[in-house]
C-alpha cells in the first residue's frame, strides 16, 4: 500500500513549507522516522521524516517549491507499486514565468491598461490563489473582469474579499509598466524573506493607528549600570536597555489585556500569558523569538534568555516553539541609530511597540533646562480592536514605568 508523505505543520503559524533539500532520491529504501527532506517553514528549518518503511517511489516537489500544509510531497511504498496521479498545489508555480527578465529589454509604451479577458487571469492571482481570502463569487467576478485579487482590499470578516470589493476595484485601473531600463541582477527572495512578505501583506490588510511619545530614560540608564555591576560578575553578560523595556512592557500589558490579544472573527481573545516577541535582525531577515511569561521574569532572567536567542539565531538553531506564541512584539532599532519609526503589527497580534535610540537632550524640568537621556517610542495598534485613547493610555502607563524603573523586579 502506497503511503503519502505530506507537508507537515511544524509550528502553529506555519501555513506552507519551502523545499530546501531532498536527503533521499527516488528509488532509495527508507525507514519510518528517517529524515527524508529539509524544509523551511515560518522562519525556521526542519527535517521531515518518513511516515513508513519502504521505497521512495516518487518525489513530487523540486527544491525551492512552496507547498501548502497537508499537500502531498512524496509517495512511499513497495518497489514497483503504482503511485496516485495526484500532484501538490505549488504556490510558486508561476514565479519563473512571471518574473523572467530578458537580457535585452524591449521598448514598449510607457503605460498600458491590462486587458480584461475571461481567460486572462492575472499570474499573481494564480500564484497566491488559495492563500487570499475571497468568496467564490468574488473570485469568479475577478476572473471575468481581469482584476488581480492581490491588489484588492477586502471588506468582509478577517479582510475577506467580497464581490462588492471587486466591483469597487473596477474603478481603479490596473496597469502594467515596461521600459528599457537595463537589469543588473534578478535575486529571488529567500524562504525567510517570502515568509516576511506574506506576513506583512496580511498585516497591511488591517487598519493601523500609531501613537508616539518621548520617554525620559535617565533613570533606566542608572538602573542598567547598577544591575550590570552585579550581573556581569555573576553571569558574564550585560543587561541591554531592551531587556529592561521588555520587562516594563510585560508588566504594563497586565493592566491592558486588549493589547495582549488577537482578533478571531468577531471575538477578541485575550491571553492569560504575556509572551513578548523580541524582533532580531539577522543576515537573512527579521526573526521574532518569544520571551514567554515575561511578566513573571526578572530583568536578569529576560536578559539571559534574549542573549541566548541572539547567539542561536545567528547559527539558525532556534526551535520552532521559540519563534511562535508571542502575544505582543517589541522592535528596537536604537542600536542602528534610528530615532523614530512607525512599526507594522506582527499578525495575529493587536499591537506592537517600536523604539528609537537613546539620546542626551536639553529638556525643561521645573522651568529649568537640564540634560536628560531621551528616547522616542511609537505604538501601532489594530484599529479594529483599539482606538487612539486606549493606545495613548498604554503608552502613558509604559512611560510612567520607564521613568520610574527602580520598582521593577531586577
Do residues 237 and 224 lie in contact, with contact meaning Cβ atoms separated by under 8 Å? no
Torsion of CA 234, 237, 241, 247, to 10 degrees: -60
Cα distance between residue 158 and residue 396, in whole Å: 30
Is residue 383 among the annotated active site residues?
yes
CA distances in angstroms from 285 to 59, 142, 202, 272, listed in the order given: 30, 34, 18, 30
Residue 134: φ, ψ to 5°: -150, 145
401 burial type by CB count under 10 A (0-12 exposed, 13-18 middle, 19+ buried): buried
Query: Is the CB of residue 145 less than 8 Å from the CB of residue 166?
Result: yes
| Integer Cα distance of 334 and 356 in angstroms | 4
At residue 107, the 3 state secondary structure works out as: coil
Task: Please tell me the distance from the alpha carbon of residue 219 to that of residue 358, in angstroms, as a whole number.
Answer: 12
Q: Choosing from 99, 208, 235, 383, which is the catalytic residue? A: 383
Torsion of CA 112, 117, 121, 123, to 10 degrees: -30
What number of other Cβ atoms are within 10 A of residue 24's Cβ?
A: 18
Strands of 328-332's sheet in order across: 208-216, 368-382, 351-365, 328-332, 276-278, 290-291
Radius of gyration of the chain (CA): 25
Long-range contacts of 118-121 (CB under 8 A, 24+ apart): 118/143, 118/144, 120/146, 121/146
Question: Please, are residues 252 and 213 in contact by the beta-carbon 8 Å criterion?
Answer: no
Displacement of CA 311 from its chain's centroid (Å): 20
Taking CA atoms, 370 is separated from 144, 216, 364, 401, in Å, by 66, 12, 6, 21
**Cell 521574569, residue?**
297
Catalytic residues: 383
Amino acid at each position: 500500500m502506497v503511503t503519502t508523505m505530506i507537508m507537515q505543520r511544524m509550528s502553529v503559524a506555519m501555513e506552507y513549507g519551502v523545499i530546501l533539500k531532498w536527503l533521499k532520491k527516488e528509488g532509495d529504501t527508507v525507514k519510518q522516522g528517517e529524515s527524508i527532506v529539509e524544509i523551511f517553514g515560518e522562519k525556521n528549518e526542519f527535517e521531515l521524516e518518513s511516515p513508513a518503511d519502504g521505497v521512495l517511489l516518487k518525489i513530487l516537489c523540486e527544491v525551492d517549491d512552496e507547498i501548502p500544509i497537508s499537500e502531498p510531497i512524496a509517495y512511499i511504498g513497495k518497489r514497483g507499486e503504482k503511485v496516485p496521479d495526484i500532484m501538490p498545489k505549488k504556490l510558486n508555480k508561476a514565479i519563473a514565468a512571471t518574473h523572467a527578465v530578458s537580457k535585452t529589454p524591449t521598448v514598449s509604451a510607457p503605460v498600458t491598461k491590462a486587458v480584461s479577458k475571461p481567460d486572462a487571469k492575472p499570474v499573481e492571482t494564480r500564484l497566491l490563489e488559495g492563500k487570499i481570502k475571497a468568496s467564490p463569487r468574488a473570485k469568479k467576478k475577478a476572473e471575468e473582469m481581469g482584476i488581480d485579487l492581490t491588489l484588492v482590499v477586502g471588506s468582509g470578516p478577517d479582510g475577506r474579499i467580497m464581490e462588492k470589493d471587486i466591483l469597487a476595484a473596477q474603478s481603479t485601473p490596473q496597469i502594467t509598466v515596461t521600459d528599457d531600463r537595463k537589469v543588473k541582477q534578478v535575486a529571488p527572495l529567500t524562504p525567510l524573506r517570502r515568509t516576511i512578505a506574506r506576513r506583512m501583506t496580511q498585516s497591511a490588510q488591517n487598519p493601523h493607528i500609531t501613537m508616539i511619545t518621548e520617554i525620559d530614560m535617565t533613570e533606566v540608564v542608572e538602573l542598567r549600570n547598577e544591575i550590570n555591576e552585579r550581573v556581569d560578575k555573576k553571569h558574564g553578560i550585560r543587561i541591554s536597555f531592551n531587556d529592561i523595556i521588555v520587562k516594563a512592557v510585560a508588566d504594563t500589558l497586565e493592566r491592558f489585556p486588549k493589547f495582549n490579544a488577537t482578533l478571531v472573527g468577531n471575538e477578541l481573545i485575550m491571553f492569560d500569558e504575556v509572551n513578548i516577541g523580541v524582533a532580531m535582525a539577522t543576515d537573512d531577515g527579521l526573526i521574532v523569538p518569544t520571551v514567554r511569561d515575561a511578566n513573571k521574569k526578572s530583568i536578569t532572567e529576560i536578559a539571559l534568555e534574549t542573549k541566548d536567542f541572539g547567539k542561536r539565531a545567528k547559527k539558525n538553531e532556534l526551535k520552532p516553539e521559540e519563534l511562535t506564541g508571542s502575544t505582543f512584539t517589541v522592535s528596537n532599532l536604537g542600536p542602528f541609530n534610528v530615532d523614530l519609526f512607525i512599526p507594522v503589527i506582527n499578525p495575529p497580534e493587536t499591537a506592537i511597540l517600536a523604539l528609537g535610540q537613546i539620546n542626551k537632550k536639553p529638556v525643561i524640568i521645573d522651568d529649568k533646562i537640564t540634560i536628560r537621556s531621551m528616547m522616542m517610542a511609537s505604538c501601532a495598534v489594530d484599529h479594529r480592536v483599539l482606538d487612539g485613547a486606549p493606545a495613548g493610555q498604554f503608552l502613558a502607563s509604559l512611560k510612567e514605568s520607564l521613568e520610574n524603573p527602580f520598582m521593577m523586579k531586577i
